[in-house]
């Protein structure tokens, strides 16, 4: 049990702080960091338990960061709500399928998509967006489609999906990145709750471990949100930081997943 391993508690708190900081800073990437941290740093033996536990923690941490962004009035609630509501249906279907698929193989492929998303974000880093964006007949279909797609991928891979949600909101509604980051947390929380509930139904959530992530994430989220507000004053800086986080996580996931897949193939060939 985690209570018998002090290092596990400390590692969980540190992991949670990193997840919370990423959520507060970039509105995403948190659960992509959480799963590798739980498996390789904390030592959670079952990747699916790591996914379910991280989803539960990311849901709470996203709500905490959401409160910070709400105080700063950076959330476009109507656009975010449409995105999240359609995404919940996708997250439910995706998480149901994801429970029966090897997570490391899927993350290796998904890391390639993360690189593409980061590249697109860097190309748009000089674009400011329209701060007065509102939900309308033109952006509603785009928000609904983007939300459904991001939700399905989020649930399928057991991640919060913020690194997809932020550019999805920007591309669908042309809102500035700071508004997209704050608004993305509505969807991150909704998707994470859906995924965590689905995994909990299959007894794949370690609630004690999730609690340590939440405690660490509360501290990290406050720092991340403060840094995000400061960086938003610099042209393109926040987009660059966001893209850098995605690139770094993608490379790490590719490295770990590639190594794991190589060991599996080697074992199969030796048998």
pLDDT in tens, 187-244: 988 988 998 999 999 999 999 889 998 898 888 888 887 887 777 666 466 667 777 8
The span from the CA of 192 to the CA of 100, in Å, is 18
Half-sphere exposure of 78 (CA within 13 A, CB side): 9
- State the pTM of this model: 0.73
Dist CA 228 CA 154 (whole Å):
23
For the chain, what are the domain ranges? 2-270
What does the pLDDT read at residue 148? 93
- Residue 267 pLDDT: 36
Enter the DSSP assignment of 14. H
Indicate if the pLDDT at residue 104 is higher than 90: no
Q: Give me the residue label for tokens 């590639």.
A: 258
């Amino acid at each position: 049990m985690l209570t018998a391993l002090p290092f596990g508690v400390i590692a969980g708190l540190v992991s949670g702080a990193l997840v919370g900081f990423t959520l507060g800073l970039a509105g995403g990437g948190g659960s992509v960091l959480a799963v590798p941290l739980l498996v390789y740093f904390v030592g959670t033996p079952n990747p699916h338990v790591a996914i379910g536990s991280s989803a539960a923690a990311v849901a709470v941490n996203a709500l905490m960061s959401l409160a910070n962004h709400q105080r700063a009035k950076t959330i476009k609630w109507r656009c975010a709500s449409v995105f999240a509501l359609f995404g919940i249906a996708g997250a439910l279907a995706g998480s149901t399928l994801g429970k029966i698929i090897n997570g490391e193989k899927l993350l290796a492929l998904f890391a390639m998509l993360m690189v593409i998303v980061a590249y697109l974000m860097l190309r748009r880093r000089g674009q400011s967006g329209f701060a007065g964006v509102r939900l309308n007949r033109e952006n509603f279909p785009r928000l609904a489609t983007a939300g459904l797609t991001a939700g399905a991928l989020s649930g399928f891979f057991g991640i919060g999906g913020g690194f997809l949600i932020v550019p999805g909101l920007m591309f669908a509604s042309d809102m500035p990145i700071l508004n997209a980051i704050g608004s993305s947390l509505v969807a991150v929380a909704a998707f994470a709750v859906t995924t965590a509930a689905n995994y909990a139904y299959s007894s794949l959530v370690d609630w004690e471990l999730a609690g340590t992530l939440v405690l660490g994430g509360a501290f990290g989220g406050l720092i991340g949100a403060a840094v995000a507000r400061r960086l938003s004053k610099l042209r393109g800086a926040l987009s660059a930081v966001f893209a850098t986080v995605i690139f770094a996580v993608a490379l790490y996931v590719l490295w770990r997943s590639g190594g794991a897949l190589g060991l599996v193939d080697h074992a199969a060939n030796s048998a």
